[in-house]
C-alpha cells in the first residue's frame, strides 16, 4: 500500500513537471524571439527633421547619489530644444541642494519643489504631476533620477517617434544591479517580462497589451492629457505599466524599443529595495483579487523552484535497475531544471549583460523571487504593507487595476 501511494505521488508530480517543462519551452521561445526581434532605438528610417520642444520630467526623492550624474547626462545631449523639470519629491537628503546647484549653472534645468503629497496619491505619481504643471514642451519625456543617457538618446527618440508617426515611445534600458543578490535574483524575475509584456506584444496593434518603462517614455503632450495624465493612475503602484495599458486601449500608437547600449537605469539600490520591489508586485494584486494572487504565487513556485528539490529527491531514490515511478519523475525534473538554467543564462547574458556565474545561481534567485512573492501576500493586510523610497503605503487605499502578472 505504501509503494502504491508513493507511486501515485510520484506520477502526479511527473505530470506536473511535464507541464512545467512545456511552460518553460514556451517561455524560452518567447525570450529568444524578444531578444532577436525587438526593434532598436537607433535603427529606423529617419524621415523627420522637426525639433519640437521636449519637457523632461524628472521626479526625485532622496536621490543625492544619482541625480547629479543623471542631470549631467541630460545637459550633454546633442538635441537642443528641451527643458529639464527636476522635481524634488519631499527629499530628506541633499537632493534639492544638488538640483539647485545644477539649475544655477544651466538655464535648461527648472527646479521644482513638489507640494505635499495629497491623500490617495502614490509619491512618484504626484511628483510627475507636479512636474507636468510646469511643462512647456509639445513632447513629454518621463524618466527616473537613477538613469543615465548617451548624448544621442534624446535626438534619436524624437526622430524615431516622429518618423514612425507614434504617439508614445518607450525604451528598454540596461538594468544595473548594485549588489550580488539582485544580480542573482533579477534574471529569474525578468523571464516573465518576455512573455506577456514583451516588446513584440506591446508593438502588436492587434493585442491590447501596453507597457511603459518608467525610466524612459516619451509621449505627445496632447496624448498624455487625453489619457488622463498621472491623475488617472494616481493610486497605482506600477503607474508606468498602467499608463501604457491605458494608452494602448485608447487606440494610440505605442512602440517599445531596445536601448540597453544607450541608457542605463538602476533596478534596485540594495537588497532591501529589491525585496520591497518583489512585495510591491504582489500586495496590490492580492487586494485586487486574492484568489488570483495566490494562484500567481503557486504558478511561480512550481515554474521557478519546485523542479529543483524534486530533481534532488528523485536522484536520491532512482536506480538504473529500478524503472518504477522514480525514473519518469527524475527525467521530468531534470528537463524542467535544465530549462530553468537555460532561461537564466539567456537572461543573464542576452538581457542583463551579467557574468555567466549569476546564471549558475538560478536556484537561489528562484527561491528569493518565490519567497518575496509569498512575503508580499503575507504583508498585504498590514497597515504599512508596501515600503518604497522611504514612504510606507497601506495598499488597501491603492490598487493595481491595470497590471497583471
Chain segment 65-97, per-residue pLDDT in tens:
999 999 999 999 999 999 999 999 989 999 999
CA 237, 196, 227, 216 dihedral sign is positive
Q: How does residue 302 score in pLDDT terms, banded at 50, 70 and 90?
A: very high
Rounded to whole angstroms, the Cα distance separating 221 from 281 reads: 29
Between the alpha carbon of residue 193 and those of residues 32, 37, 198, 213, the distances in Å are 12, 15, 6, 11
Task: Report the pLDDT averaged over residues 155-177.
Answer: 96
Please measure the distance between the N-terminal and C-terminal CA atoms of the chain and give it in whole angstroms.
Answer: 42
Q: Tell whether the model's pLDDT for residue 2 goes beyond 90.
A: no
Ordered domains of the chain (ranges, CATH): 2-33+273-397 (no CATH), 54-173+213-264 (3.90.550.10)
Full-model pTM: 0.90
Per-residue pLDDT tens over the stretch 348-382 = 999 899 999 999 999 999 999 999 999 988 888 66
Task: Report the pLDDT averaged over residues 167-178.
Answer: 95
User: What is the average pLDDT score of the chain?
Assistant: 90
- Chain-centre distance of CA 27, in angstroms? 17
Q: Tell whether the model's pLDDT for residue 131 goes beyond 90.
A: yes
Per-residue pLDDT tens over the stretch 187-199 = 999 988 777 789 9
Q: Tell whether the model's pLDDT for residue 401 goes beyond 80.
A: no
Q: Tell whether the model's pLDDT for residue 402 goes beyond 60.
A: no
Q: Which residue has the higher pLDDT, 170 or 284?
A: 170
Q: Tell whether the model's pLDDT for residue 390 goes beyond 80.
A: no
Per-residue pLDDT tens over the stretch 214-248 = 999 999 999 999 999 999 999 888 888 899 999 99
Rounded to whole angstroms, the Cα distance separating 97 from 69 reads: 14
Evaluate whether 240 touches 150 at the Cβ level (below 8 Å).
no
One-letter-per-residue 3-state SS of the chain: CHHHHHHHHHHHHHHHHHHHHHHHHHHHHHHHHHHHHCCECCCCCCCCCCCCCEEEEEEECCCCCCHHHHHHHHHCCCCCCEEEEEEECCCCCCHHHHHHHHHHHCCCEEEEECCCCCCCCCHHHHHHHHHHCCCCCCEEEEECCCEEECCCHHHHHHHHHHHCCCCEEEEECEEEECCHHHHHHHHHHHHHHHCCCCHHHHCCCCCCCCCCCCCEEEEEHHHHHHCCCHHHHCCECCHHHHHHHHHHHCCCCEEEEECCCCEEEEEECCHHHHHHHHHHHHHHHHHHCHHHHHHHHHHHHHHHHCHHHHHHHHHHHCECCECCCHHHHHHHHHHHHHHHHHHHHHHHHHHCCCCCHHHHCHHHHHHHHHHHHHHHHHHCCCCCCEEECCEEECHHHCECCCCCC
Side-chain-side CA neighbours of 216 within 13 Å: the count stands at 31
Q: Tell whether the model's pLDDT for residue 298 goes beyond 90.
A: yes
Predicted local distance difference test score (pLDDT) of residue 400: 60
Q: Tell whether the model's pLDDT for residue 210 goes beyond 60.
A: yes
Amino acid at each position: 500500500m505504501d509503494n502504491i501511494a508513493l507511486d501515485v505521488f510520484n506520477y502526479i508530480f511527473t505530470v506536473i513537471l511535464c507541464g512545467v517543462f512545456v511552460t518553460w519551452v514556451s517561455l524560452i521561445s518567447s525570450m529568444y524571439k524578444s531578444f532577436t526581434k525587438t526593434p532598436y532605438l537607433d535603427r529606423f528610417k529617419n524621415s523627420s527633421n522637426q525639433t519640437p520642444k521636449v519637457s523632461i520630467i524628472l521626479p526625485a526623492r532622496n536621490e543625492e547619489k544619482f541625480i547629479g550624474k543623471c542631470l549631467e547626462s541630460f545637459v550633454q545631449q546633442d538635441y537642443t530644444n528641451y527643458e529639464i523639470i527636476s522635481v524634488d519629491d519631499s527629499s530628506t537628503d541633499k537632493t534639492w541642494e544638488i538640483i539647485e546647484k545644477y539649475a544655477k549653472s544651466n538655464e535648461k534645468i527648472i527646479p521644482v519643489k513638489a507640494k505635499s503629497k495629497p491623500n490617495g496619491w502614490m509619491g512618484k505619481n504626484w511628483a510627475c504631476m507636479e512636474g507636468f504643471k510646469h511643462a512647456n514642451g509639445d513632447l513629454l519625456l518621463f524618466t527616473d533620477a537613477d538613469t543615465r543617457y548617451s548624448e544621442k538618446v534624446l535626438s534619436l527618440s524624437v526622430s524615431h517617434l516622429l518618423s514612425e508617426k507614434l504617439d508614445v515611445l518607450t525604451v528598454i534600458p540596461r538594468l544595473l544591479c548594485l549588489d550580488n543578490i539582485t544580480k542573482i535574483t533579477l534574471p529569474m524575475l525578468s523571464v516573465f517580462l518576455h512573455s506577456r509584456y514583451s516588446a513584440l506584444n506591446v508593438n502588436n496593434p492587434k493585442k491590447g497589451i501596453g507597457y511603459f518603462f518608467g525610466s524612459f517614455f516619451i509621449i505627445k503632450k496632447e496624448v498624455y492629457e487625453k489619457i488622463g495624465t498621472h491623475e488617472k493612475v494616481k493610486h497605482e503602484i506600477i503607474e508606468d505599466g498602467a499608463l501604457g495599458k491605458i494608452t494602448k486601449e485608447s487606440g494610440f500608437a505605442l512602440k517599445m524599443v531596445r536601448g540597453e547600449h544607450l541608457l542605463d537605469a538602476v533596478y534596485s539600490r540594495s537588497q532591501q529595495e529589491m525585496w520591497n520591489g518583489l512585495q510591491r508586485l504582489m500586495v496590490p494584486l492580492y487586494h485586487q483579487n486574492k484568489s488570483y494572487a495566490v494562484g500567481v504565487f503557486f504558478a511561480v513556485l512550481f515554474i521557478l523552484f519546485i523542479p529543483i528539490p524534486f530533481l534532488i529527491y528523485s536522484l536520491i531514490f532512482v536506480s538504473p535497475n529500478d524503472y518504477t515511478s522514480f525514473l519518469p519523475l527524475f527525467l521530468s525534473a531534470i528537463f524542467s531544471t535544465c530549462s530553468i538554467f537555460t532561461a537564466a543564462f539567456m537572461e543573464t547574458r542576452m538581457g542583463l549583460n551579467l557574468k555567466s556565474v549569476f546564471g549558475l545561481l538560478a536556484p537561489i534567485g528562484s527561491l528569493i523571487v518565490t519567497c518575496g512573492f509569498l512575503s508580499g501576500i503575507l504583508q498585504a493586510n498590514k497597515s504599512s504593507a508596501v515600503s518604497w523610497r522611504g514612504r510606507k503605503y497601506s495598499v488597501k487605499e491603492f490598487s493595481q487595476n491595470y497590471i497583471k502578472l
